[in-house]
Structure 1
Amino acid sequence: MAYNAPGTSRQFKLAKESELRIEVGTETSLRLRLLSGSAEIFGTELPPENWVTFPPRLKFAIFTWNGATVEVNGTSEVEYVADETPMVSYVNVHAVLEGRRARAKGFSTNDIDSSQGPRVIVVGPTDSGKSSLSRMLLSWASKQSWKPTFVDLDIGQGSITLPGCIAATPIEMPIDPVEGIPLEMSIVYFFGHITPTANAELYKVLVKELSRTLERQFSGNAESRAAGMVINTMGWVEGLGYELLLHSIDAFNANVVLVLGQEKLCSMLKDVLKNKPNVDIVKLHKSGGVVPRNTKLRQKDRSYRIREYFYGLVNDLSPHSNVVNFGDVSVFRIGGGPQAPRSALPIGAEPAADPTRLVPVNINRDLLHLVLAVSYAKEPDQIISSNVAGFIYVTDIDIPKKKITYLAPCPGELPSRFLLVGTLTWLES
């Protein structure tokens, strides 16, 4: 392991089936290029001879199946070659999924069950490499001309869009190791919190809503149906987390469950799903390159993710500051408020909060530094079942003038007057 000063160049000769693991420094970027052989990052091939620039804080591994020489230039905090990786078992899973896609493509769309490709759900505890494995399976599939759907249910991290959301998007080409997953065609539902404990019932409702939306898309698109989906999940696998995991497997009709790095979880799932013969549960080893993150680091990662949404990965976007009158927008929170008055309940019963109740929010300075979602809903009663157009960040609330100043990724009017608020905060630095 090494820390390298800026400007220093070094070469690594990688033996077959080995990988170079790198953690870019926190302040400066790092460049690398493939000098000979072939290599890939999370399933996406490196172009020969072209320098690729990686921004600060990125963590990745360059893997080679047959051997490669790589040149690295710039600052890294960690840098080492590993010859023990689980990649062969991962690519074997990919080969099985390919076979299932090919079979599904051969059936007519009238045969609903047989024309359905693999629906893979990747599960495991925090920091077990679920996102990386998901990326590999998606990139390998798209390299074979499939367009699988990526579903991200990890509200704490957010691989497609911001944390606090669940989302899905088709993957039409191998995922860029720097840019990540494209946003253009994504379907996003705003949960608004980074942990499901804030409103577990709402999380379930949104998961079901997303699954219904995708089912409608698949019913009219045989190609997408055969390509199937890869579903990334949260790292919380006990108690409520486990319950939500089972709910997700059920909601998306997952037929392949990949369990990363936990015997106990694998055993529990085999036991609870034993009556579903069509569901295969496969235990895989996690990569030794997975970097554990503490709470502070996760918080930092979320903050960078939000910043990236507005400013781009390397500050290449120019967000717009806009002003809107209080009267031109309606802000809502989902969940809260009693379901029924105490008088309508049995004696001794306590009124419970309604997890899917739409609560109008008074515009005041409590909204400062919050990230709000802009709903596609046309009417308030459509808000829960509607996905979102994007996000704004509240930078100022002028109570006397009744005006909100906000940051948006693009100029122009908001696509809707309905805004959703959760607990997603960001202090712009």
Structure 2
Amino acid sequence: MDLGQAFRLANLVVGGLMVFGGIAQFFDLTLQHVILGVYIIVFGAATALLEFQIPPAVSRYANFMFSFIGRGACVFVLVLVYIFTGSILYHKAWYSWIPGSLIVLVGIGYIGLEFVPSIEPPENMREGGYDGLGETDSSTILTRELKPNQEFRFEVAPNTSITIRLTAGTAGTAELFGTELSKGLPYTFTCCKSAIYTWTGCSLSIEGSPSVEYIAEETPMATYLNLHIALEKLRVAASDCPPTTEGAQGPRILLIGPPDVGKTTVAKILTGYSIRQGRKPMVINLDTGGEGVLSVPGTITAASFGSVMDVEDGFGNSPMSAPSAIPVKLPLVYYYGLETPEGGVKRYKRLISRMAVAVNSRLEEDIESKNTGLIIDTPSFDNQTNGDLISYIVAEFSITTIAILGSERLYNTMLKSFSGSTNINVIKLPTSGGCVDRDVPYKKSLRDATVKKYFFGDDKCTLSPYTVSIELDSPGFSLWETVDSSSDKKNISFLPIGEDESSLQTGEDDVVRKLAPGDVDSRFENLVVAVLQVDAKDAGVKEVAESAVLGFVFVQEIDEKERRMKVLSPVPGRVPLKALLVGKWPDGMFLT
């Protein structure tokens, strides 16, 4: 039953009664009654005016007011205000106690309606509200009713956004990649392809216009849940073992497959389910060609997840110079600086080894993470050229489960490769129908958005980076660059007789090279530069190639004449006298 107009009329009447009662306070010419009258008039006028238009600031910063849609806490607040104001208006004159009594009756009526499920919420208590007298602006408000085990899939183009709410006051729950949505809370999405799943059925309210949106009935979520349950049984067994024994080590799962098959999505789902079970999974991202996890693209990262993930930002945020609604994560970051492992296999393996040593050391100190185990996301692998690299990752991280998505051939190759390993399980996971190929411009927009967010923040949290100048000829300046071995292919037809291609191959340690100040020119503009943990004066090839990252700066301009480099820094002050490493990935961006 829809009583929206009746609610609206009741609120207008209450607003009018407040104004009338406030004016009545002026009849007693005392300072106390005058101040009280002014307060009541202002509150009454605001109550009435909100029925005609709800300011955007109220929708954004006081969205809890809209929980009346679900007969929630907001209605009780309104009731208490009505009763409180009515009590104030009780006075010895009839023109005071009559308005007060009517307001109290309206408050009691609201309390009664709280327990009537058949009453539909008033339109002005929904997001969007009334836009003008008696008209509702619902042109961009979509409502989608999901049945149990259905999934709402949507795509949002770059530079546009939509807001989705799980309708409060209705039964059912929903989750986005394993993280449960809160009822009535707005979630804003931009430049993404995502999906909201419900096990029980739910109602969603969508503000804005997705480029693609539909409801899917066939999803692999049941399979992913079964995988989580199997991993959870192993975690329970690990928790029952003494911390120092080998059995205390939880499951370690490696997700591999071709491009755009949902590896990162499954990693998010397994992480979200694990956190909801009270676990602390260690999540490792080895995909340098993606948009980055808790860091900029071109990095490999590892972080222990002991708190809820961010629905809007996926894995969440690393520490920044501003408050965050979601607890930040503290990742270990290594900068690789190339798009694919094939660009520098030697250094990529070195970084994997360094990461594995650091992760294992951390797990020995954190028994919760040790019992929970590892969830590892990887670059796009096939079965022909990446077999050696997959085996290397499995060995370094002591993988116990290899999950293959989107490739029957790769699955059979892994079965043969690890058939003799009794402690490694190879499983095949179905790919969600929501996985679609992402074109090159879309992927670049994701990478650029990640880098821009690192320096400038987003709509929820705006950051202000600092412009810093670095003298290229200063003694503390030490700039290195990554070596892309895949692009250094020479024409062997010009080699002397008797020499082959091996004479052109780089040395074992030639994975990064130091740049002389004269080599720094405009080709390094609009690139990300990693500030490493190694001091500039102590930096050698081995130290730079294997050092973790302190942070990043962005090269805005290089003045070759003045021998100066202007960079954006997320923190004030001079750039530390540390070794700087510039890569070829992510490629050129224009952030300002």
Taking structure 1 as the reference length, what is the TM-score of the superposition? 0.92
CA contact (8 A) 1:375 1:383 kept: yes
User: CA 1:404–1:263 in structure 2 vs 1: closer, same or farther (change >3 Å)?
Assistant: same
Question: Which of 256, 275, 278 is 1:145 aligned to?
Answer: 278
In structure 2, what is the equivalent of residue 318 of structure 1? Answer: 464
Q: Is the 8 A contact 1:332 1:361 kept in 2?
A: yes
1:355, CA displacement in angstroms? 5.3
Q: Is the Cα contact below 8 Å between 2:343 and 2:484 reproduced in 1?
A: no
Contact 1:192–1:421 (Cα < 8 Å) also in 2 = yes
Instruction: From the CA coordinates, give the structure whose radius of gyration is larger.
Output: 2
Q: How has the CA–CA distance of structure 1 residues 274 and 386 changed in structure 2, closer, same or farther, with 3 Å as cutoff?
A: same
Aligned equivalents of 2:160, 2:250: Cα separation in 1: 43
Give the whole-Å Cα distance in 2 for the aligned partners of 1:318 and 1:118.
41
Q: Which residue of 2 aligns with 1:428?
A: 590
Deviation at 1:68, TM superposition (A): 0.7
Aligned match of 2:522:
365
SS at match of 1:384: helix
Deviation of 1:400 after TM superposition, in Å, equals: 2.7
> Which residue number corresponds to residue 252 of structure 2?
119
**SS in structure 1 of the partner of residue 545 of structure 2:** coil
Contact persistence 2:152–2:195 (CA under 8 A): yes
Equivalent residues in 2 for 1:129-278 (5 A)? 129-157=262-290, 158-181=292-315, 182-184=317-319, 185-278=330-423
C-alpha separation in 1, matches of 2:180 and 2:215: 18
Higher helix content, 1 or 2:
2
Q: Counterpart of 1:46 in structure 2: which amino acid?
A: L
Tell me which of the two structures has the higher relative contact order, counting C-alpha pairs closer than 8 angstroms and 6 or more residues apart: 1
SS at match of 2:145: strand
Report the count of equivalent residues. Answer: 415
CA distance in 2 between counterparts of 1:387 and 1:150 reads: 17
Output one character per residue of 1:59-80: Cα deviation in whole Å (capped at 9) or x when no partner: 2111001111111111200010
Matches of 1:410 and 1:281, distance apart in 2: 45
SS of residue in 1 equivalent to 2:279:
coil
Give the letter aligned to residue 312 of structure 2.
V
1:350 aligned partner, one-letter code: S
* Separation in structure 1 between the aligned mates of residue 300 and residue 509 of structure 2, nearest angstrom: 16
Number of the residue aligned with 1:342: none
Change (3 A) 1:190 1:27: closer
Distance 1:7 1:331 in 2: 54
Q: Deviations over 1:248-295 (max 9, x none)?
A: 122211101111121111110011011111111111100001121123
Percent of aligned positions with the same letter in both sequences? 29
Summarize the alignment of residues 310-389 of structure 1 with structure 2, pairs less than 5 Å apart.
Answer: 310-314=455-459, 316-326=462-472, 327=474, 328-335=476-483, 348=499, 350-354=503-507, 356-357=509-510, 358-362=512-516, 363-378=520-535, 379-381=538-540, 382-389=543-550
1:146 is aligned with what amino acid?
A: R
Q: Which residue of 1 aligns with 2:65?
A: none
Letter in 2 for 1:140: Y
Secondary structure in 1 aligned to 2:568? strand
1:39 maps to: 174
Secondary structure of 2:248's counterpart equals coil
- How much does 1:336 deviate? 7.6
| Equivalent position of 1:344 in the other structure | none
Question: Which of the residues 208, 217, 230 maps onto 1:96?
Answer: 230
Q: What's the secondary structure of 1:306's corresponding residue?
A: helix
Aligned to 1:8: 140
- Residue 268 of structure 2 aligns to which amino acid in structure 1? R
Deviations 1:43-101 (A, max 9, x none): 001101122222x2122111001111111111200010001000000000001111111
Amino acid at match of 1:375: L
Amino acid at match of 2:394: I
1:72 alignment counterpart: 206
Change in CA separation of 1:136 and 1:108 when aligned onto 2, cut-off 3 Å: same
Shift of 1:335: 4.0
Aligned-residue CA RMSD in angstroms? 2.0
Q: Secondary structure at the match of 2:196?
A: strand
The alignment partner of 2:159 has SS state of: coil
Check the 8 A contact 1:336/1:359 in 2, yes or no. Answer: no
Please tell me whether the aligned partners of residues 188 and 387 of structure 1 are also in contact (alpha carbons under 8 angstroms): yes
Distance 2:351 2:393 in 1: 10
Give the aligned partner of residue 70 of structure 2.
Answer: none
Q: After superposition, what is the alpha-carbon deviation per residue over 1:113-153, rounded to whole angstroms, capped at 9, x for unaligned?
A: x1100111111110000001100100110111111111000
Show structure 1 runs of 5+ residues with no match. 339-346
Which moved further from structure 2: 25-34 or 407-416?
A: 407-416
> Is the contact between residue 25 and residue 75 of structure 1 (CA under 8 Å) also seen in structure 2?
no
What do the CA deviations read for 1:213-250 (whole angstroms, capped 9, x no partner)?
11111122222111111000111324333332222122
C-alpha separation between the residues in 1 aligned to 2:424 and 2:577?
41
Post-superposition offset of 1:375: 0.2
Distance in 2, matches of 1:330 and 1:409, equals 20
* Residue from 548, 560, 582 that aligns with 1:399: 560
> How far is the alpha carbon of 1:370 from its aligned partner?
1.7
Q: Which moved more, 1:286-295 or 1:378-387?
A: 378-387
How far residue 33 of structure 1 moved from its aligned partner, in angstroms, is 0.8
> What TM-score, normalized by structure 2, do the two folds share?
0.67
Contact map agreement 1:190 1:373 (CA 8 A) in 2:
yes
State whether residues 338 and 484 of structure 2, in contact with CA within 8 Å, keep that contact through their aligned partners in structure 1: no
Cα gap change, 1:298/1:238 in structure 2, threshold over 3 Å: closer, same or farther?
Answer: farther
Q: 2:309 and 2:266 mapped to 1: Cα distance?
A: 12
Question: Which deviations, in whole Å up to 9, do the C-alpha atoms of 1:363-410 show, x marking residues without a partner?
Answer: 222321221111011321322232101111111112232211001222
**Per-residue CA distance 1:150-173 (angstroms, 9 max, x = gap):** 100001002332221111111112
The residue type paired with residue 253 of structure 1 is S
- The structure whose residues are more often strand, as a share, is 1
Kept in 2, the 8 Å contact 1:376–1:416? The answer is no
Provide the rounded CA distance (Å) in 2 between the counterparts of 1:135 and 1:160. 13
Q: Residue 413 of structure 1 aligns with which residue?
A: 574
CA change 1:143–1:322 in 2 (3 A) is same
Question: Which string of whole-angstrom CA distances, capped at 9 and with x for unpartnered residues, describes residues 318-368 of structure 1?
Answer: 222111211132001244899xxxxxxxx8461521354342113222321
Could you tell me how far apart the structure 2 residues matched to 1:336 and 1:135 are? 31
